[in-house]
Structure 1
Amino acid sequence: MKLAGLRIVLVGPLAPPAGGMANQCAQLAALLRAEGASVQQLSLHGCHLPHWLARVRYLRAVLRLPVYLWRLRCAARTADLFHVLANSGWSWHMQAAPALWLASMAGKPALLNYRGGEAGAFFARSARLIGWSLRRASAITVPSGFLAELFARYGHVAHIVPNVIDLQRFAPTSHRVDPHAPVILVARHLQALYDNASAVRAFAIVRASVPGAQLVLAGDGPERGALAQLAQQLGVADGVRFAGHVDNAAMPALYGACTIALNPSLADNMPISVLEALASGVPVVSTDVGGIAALLQHGVTALLVPPGDAPAMARALLSLLRQPQRAQALAHNGLAHVAQFDWRHVAPLLLRHYRRILRAPRPRGYTRLVAHWLFPLHERLKRHNSVRLLRRLERSQWWSAAQLQAWQMQRLRALLAHAARHVPHYRALFARLQLDPAAFRQPADLARLPLLHKADIAAARTSFVSERAIGLRAFATGGSSGEPLQFMLGRRRISHDIAAKWRATRWWGVDIGDREAVLWGSPIELGAQDLLRRWRDRLLRSTLLPAFAMSSARLDGFIAQLRRLRPRMLFGYPSALCRIAAQAGAGGVALDGLGIKVAFVTSERLYDEQRAQIAASFGCPVANGYGGRDAGFIAHECPEGGMHVTAEDVIVEIVDAQGRPLPAGSSGEIVVTHLATRDFPFIRYATGDMGALGQSPCPCGRGLPLLQHIEGRSTDFVTATDGTVMHGLALIYIVRELAGVQSFKIVQESLLRTRVLLVCRSPLETAARAGLAEAFRARLGRDVAIDIEEVAEIAAEASGKYRYVVSKVPLLP
């Protein structure tokens, strides 16, 4: 996403007084404007009062607040998003929280950028009160892992976006430091939190060994008088200089003139002054409080000491003064470390979250009524817990791979233990294999169990039913693989499937209650449209268009209905959407101005040509969804293009022809263990589909693993007479190159016979027919009979799906 034209309201402190957050706010505004964004800065302190009122501490805040709220409301009218820099204490309650509430009420996304060093104590005092406002934020970012872990402890997901340092302004200088008159710089406000008193005491110890040393305190605050008195008592007043407030523009020169930077703080997160010192090539001594230990590595990028320990500070300072080579090594490592805080590295992380919150649904009006009230009520009446599951999924999608795997294993052991005790099939299986569910420690241990095939379930369906099943319903697959299956699902599993799909559609800015057109062909759905369901769909604004016999007249009716509905989302088979797109294109009917945000396709393999055709015709991105009624919602595509596995509910294995697990990146059969199927377990279920797991993370930042590619069902592959197995695309591309072909289907009846069904605008010429047969034989074998049949129409499968290639030749191991 480009920033040009983006209207951002940047809420944060403004100088004066100068400080880390105020400097970051000003710098961020300048950087965003340089990228082409329109930035309006707002601050509680930006509301000016007469001088005599501004001096009254609490009264000034009360008087400024109404003006500040009015400015927020006015800014929200034209803003695209809010970016709120937040600190702890009254700054949060008076400045950050009101901005979040105003943005939420105005329906504008808000990115909360929290950076308070005292966050731990602040949350401990007011976690519930803070949480009310935090939930108004569209996303939360923090500059360090320390704060991310703190937010996680209170149930909030925070993403790390580091502070930004201008490496053009803050850079090493050629200034030569006099070893007999070293300068120690402390660039923190003179407040009790920053413990400048310990710095003065440490300096007194250093001064006893290095009489020419100097201490510069760059900052101001209520502790100045006490610090001056302390320096006088310790006999070092002549070596302590109070620089007062220093404008950020003058700070590079101050760093360039110092020998060591000292950070004596009692609580900290990611102090800008430390980053500026590192960027200036100055060695750093710091207390190891808060996020400092995650920011700096002791003995590598800095020397870390306990807070409030003046003798330890003095020893660290003296070690660097006495060992210039060690100080130089720290400075060198610090320079390399601070490079990651340059805007070039930070900007993509920030823009990723801008993109995400701008895409996220912000339901208003009727959609809000449905998403927040009607649908949750509907789910509660059906005794589904999908609403609670959605909230959990929207947090867990940002977990690390280690967190997701730990969660999977916890649920897997519970599922296996339940199955071994209460499901007859698995009770017998575990007894026969002498396996203990508690012995499963990692997903790879699943290989100790055999694969589960459709034939296994069909042969003894009742043995898969748990003795403690709740709310079981009968379901069946459409049989597009040639092997239909009847099975049972409980309320738990259905709730998980609803939540998984709901989360995926929200990635694209679509929520429950937005108008949706569903092109579906399953007799199960179509046969269940009784009066109650029709009223439910009307309330939820979901319209079902049957994707069975899609005649020209029916397609024209669908097109008219879509133009009348103007849905926010399309959901259905890619082949059905392509047929509508082709019909509209042939009739010169435009569908790209209906306001459709996404076309979600599923149940068939999505080909590149189909994606391009659907996107061009409907004027929207295409999102692929992979799964089935039996295996569940396995993976969904995010706006960055990653096919994310629903890892909280599903463990995906890729296995070879012998059922042995393959590493990420290797193609094989997709095997699924659904963790929410206690009532009718699907454990190591062989889907019959082929694919591979991804090896690299998705740019969107979600921790969910990826399916690198999905190659379709094993029956979508054809076998040549010499045993070579190839994907059906090898034959599809041949047919697609023929002029005048409207639709087609390829059926490999045996190794020596393949049928090609064609719907043509005009009869196929003899030369074209011969060329097609020759091209097929070149791939399948010279002795293969190619039967080319021109037909009026190609019927869909029983499920309503369309399959381009069907092979009846079993794949050999």
Structure 2
Amino acid sequence: MRALHIITGLGIGGAEQQLRLLLRNLPTPCDVVTLTNPGAVADGLRTDGVRVTDLGMKGNRDLAALPRLARIIRQGKYDLVHTHLYRACVYGRIAARLAGVRATIATEHSLGRAEIEGRPLTRSTRALYLRTERLGSATVAVSSTVAGRLRDWGVPAARIHLVPNGIDAELFRYDDGARRDTRALMGIPDDAFVVGGVGRLVPGKRFDVLVRAVAALPGARLLLAGDGPERGPLTALAERLGAAGRIRLLGECDGERPGAGPGVPALLSTMDAFVSTSREESFGLAAVEALAAGLPVLYAACPAIEDLPADRSAGATRVTGDAEELTAALRQRMRAGPHRLPPPPAVAHYDIRRSSEHLMDVYERALSGHR
């Protein structure tokens, strides 16, 4: 079996990093096409030995990209095409049909109640998604929550397959040496209480709530890994609140490029509490990674946690209010002092090897069902 993965872009993000991790565990040769933005994850994939092609798409309505993409699929003689993220799903399904590929799978990474990939859902967005969804063989949901949203949209239940996102838990295991080294590198005292967050700096992540909460806790520090359009406003907010010296926006943290600084696993070892303030999530990968690092997790929305029985995510606490509620919850953590928790059962449940096995089952069913 030869598979081609098509994704909208390959900058650092949850879906992009998940694709790289998945390809490390799939027992079938795979190539990748990115419609645009061949960023740090493209470099990482190439380091892993994956062939990555940049389609050079100029915008959402660059229809000239469609025949180019179909030609790549046809020339590669792929048995299966797997698409990721909205634009790639739309163009990839059409191109796969034009190329006569045997089966087409799409993974829905970012469908929220009112947003998709951080953008408001419109009637035309939904209509185009549903029309092109019919061209594929199956749609993969990364959580039970997303599967329910797809059904509510009108995607037939028989076409939806649940394949949760996965992590490599060993990568995020707490490392006392990494904690000391990273704190020394960043000039953080050993006894400082460090709060952390990871994600794209976009309005839907509500990192302004986290900045306000930490600013109201004298002595607490915040490490925020990620980049995006909200970086400037968040920096200005920290300055207005008089907490700029305690709040650090680190940008993209892949930990692999020379001079890039610590990666997310080292940063999680450095932290004493992890917070996800997102208004909504389709999975909540960063929160699961934090649980794997033994961190107490405060979250506003996380299907990866909420879809499982409560006892499988010990150490995770939901916070639903504003910055004041979050400040109170963090103050309680500060008083308890830094401590690590054993990774809860949810971490093993979301093992990337299980996810790759489930996805291979979807591939085989789609290929065997081809008419």
**TM-score, with length taken from structure 1:** 0.38
Q: Distance in 1 between matches of 2:97 and 2:66?
A: 16
User: In the alignment, is the contact (CA less than 8 A) between 1:268 and 1:290 conserved in 2?
Assistant: yes
- Give the SS at the match of 2:89: helix
Q: Which residue of the other structure, out of 207, 213, 222, is the alignment partner of 1:202?
A: 213
Q: Which residue of the other structure, out of 164, 170, 173, is the alignment partner of 1:171?
A: 173
Q: Distance in 1 between matches of 2:146 and 2:250?
A: 31
TM-superposed CA distance for 1:107, in Å, is 4.0
Residue 12 in 1 paired to residue 7 in 2? Answer: yes
Q: 1:224 to 1:154 in 2, by over 3 A?
A: closer
Q: Distance in 2 between matches of 1:205 and 1:188?
A: 22
User: In the alignment, is the contact (CA less than 8 A) between 1:11 and 1:43 conserved in 2?
Assistant: yes
For 1:111, the aligned partner's letter is I
Match of 1:664 in 2: none
- Following superposition of structure 1 onto structure 2, how do residues 137-536 of structure 1 map, counting pairs within 5 Å? 137-156=136-155, 157=157, 158-175=160-177, 180-207=191-218, 211=219, 213-247=220-254, 249=256, 250-288=263-301, 293-294=306-307, 297=310, 300-306=314-320, 309-324=322-337, 328=340, 331-332=341-342, 334-362=343-371
- Give the SS at the match of 1:60: coil
For 1:302, the aligned partner's letter is A
TM-superposed CA distance for 1:345, in Å, is 1.8
Q: Distance in 2 between matches of 1:60 and 1:289?
A: 34
Match of 1:96 in 2: 89
Q: 1:39 to 1:301 in 2, by over 3 A?
A: same
Unaligned runs of 5+ in 2: 40-56, 181-188, 257-262
1:118-176 residue CA offsets vs partner (Å, 9 max, x unmatched): 35445663433321011112111111111111111223222211112112322122356
TM-superposed CA distance for 1:240, in Å, is 0.6
TM-superposed CA distance for 1:66, in Å, is 2.5
For 2:170, the aligned partner's letter is Q
- Give the SS at the match of 2:145: helix
User: In the alignment, is the contact (CA less than 8 A) between 2:112 and 2:149 conserved in 1?
Assistant: no
User: In the alignment, is the contact (CA less than 8 A) between 1:189 and 1:220 conserved in 2?
Assistant: yes
Residue 39 in 1 paired to residue 38 in 2? Answer: no
For 2:332, the aligned partner's letter is S
Match of 2:73 in 1: 75
Q: 1:294 to 1:319 in 2, by over 3 A?
A: farther
TM-superposed CA distance for 1:46, in Å, is 5.3
For 1:265, the aligned partner's letter is S
- Give the SS at the match of 1:227: helix
Residue 26 in 1 paired to residue 6 in 2? Answer: no
Match of 1:84 in 2: 83
TM-superposed CA distance for 1:245, in Å, is 1.3
Q: Distance in 2 between matches of 1:140 and 1:98?
A: 15
TM-superposed CA distance for 1:248, in Å, is 5.5
TM-superposed CA distance for 1:347, in Å, is 2.3
TM-superposed CA distance for 1:85, in Å, is 1.5
User: In the alignment, is the contact (CA less than 8 A) between 1:14 and 1:25 conserved in 2?
Assistant: no
- Following superposition of structure 1 onto structure 2, how do residues 683-694 of structure 1 map, counting pairs within 5 Å? none
Q: Distance in 2 between matches of 1:344 and 1:221?
A: 30
Q: Distance in 2 between matches of 1:80 and 1:318?
A: 54
Match of 2:47 in 1: none
Root mean square deviation, CA, Å: 2.8
TM-superposed CA distance for 1:63, in Å, is 8.3
Q: Distance in 2 between matches of 1:248 and 1:160?
A: 31
In the comparison of the two structures, how many residue pairs are matched? Answer: 329
User: In the alignment, is the contact (CA less than 8 A) between 1:76 and 1:108 conserved in 2?
Assistant: no
Q: 1:317 to 1:155 in 2, by over 3 A?
A: same
Q: Distance in 2 between matches of 1:64 and 1:169?
A: 39
TM-superposed CA distance for 1:73, in Å, is 2.9
For 2:2, the aligned partner's letter is R
User: In the alignment, is the contact (CA less than 8 A) between 1:194 and 1:265 conserved in 2?
Assistant: yes
Q: Distance in 2 between matches of 1:29 and 1:187?
A: 23
Match of 2:106 in 1: 112
1:236-295 residue CA offsets vs partner (Å, 9 max, x unmatched): 111011211111642211111111111111121112221221222222111136665326
1:630-682 residue CA offsets vs partner (Å, 9 max, x unmatched): xxxxxxxxxxxxxxxxxxxxxxxxxxxxxxxxxxxxxxxxxxxxxxxxxxxxx
User: In the alignment, is the contact (CA less than 8 A) between 1:179 and 1:321 conserved in 2?
Assistant: no
TM-superposed CA distance for 1:45, in Å, is 0.8
TM-superposed CA distance for 1:117, in Å, is 4.5
Q: Which has the higher contact order (CA 8 A, sep 6+)?
A: 2
Q: Distance in 2 between matches of 1:150 and 1:117?
A: 7
- Give the SS at the match of 2:208: helix
Q: 1:245 to 1:295 in 2, by over 3 A?
A: farther
Q: Distance in 2 between matches of 1:219 and 1:47?
A: 17
For 2:280, the aligned partner's letter is A
Q: 1:47 to 1:290 in 2, by over 3 A?
A: closer
Q: 1:98 to 1:9 in 2, by over 3 A?
A: same
Q: Distance in 1 between matches of 2:37 and 2:207?
A: 29
- Give the SS at the match of 2:171: coil
User: In the alignment, is the contact (CA less than 8 A) between 1:165 and 1:341 conserved in 2?
Assistant: yes
TM-superposed CA distance for 1:188, in Å, is 1.3
Q: 1:76 to 1:28 in 2, by over 3 A?
A: farther
169-178 or 251-260, which moves further after superposition?
169-178
1:101-128 residue CA offsets vs partner (Å, 9 max, x unmatched): 1222314211111011435445663433
**TM-score, with length taken from structure 2:** 0.80
- Give the SS at the match of 1:23: helix
Match of 2:135 in 1: 136
User: In the alignment, is the contact (CA less than 8 A) between 2:111 and 2:149 conserved in 1?
Assistant: no
For 1:112, the aligned partner's letter is A
1:313-340 residue CA offsets vs partner (Å, 9 max, x unmatched): 1122222222248x64xx32x4432112
Q: Distance in 1 between matches of 2:106 and 2:65?
A: 22
Q: Distance in 2 between matches of 1:242 and 1:163?
A: 26
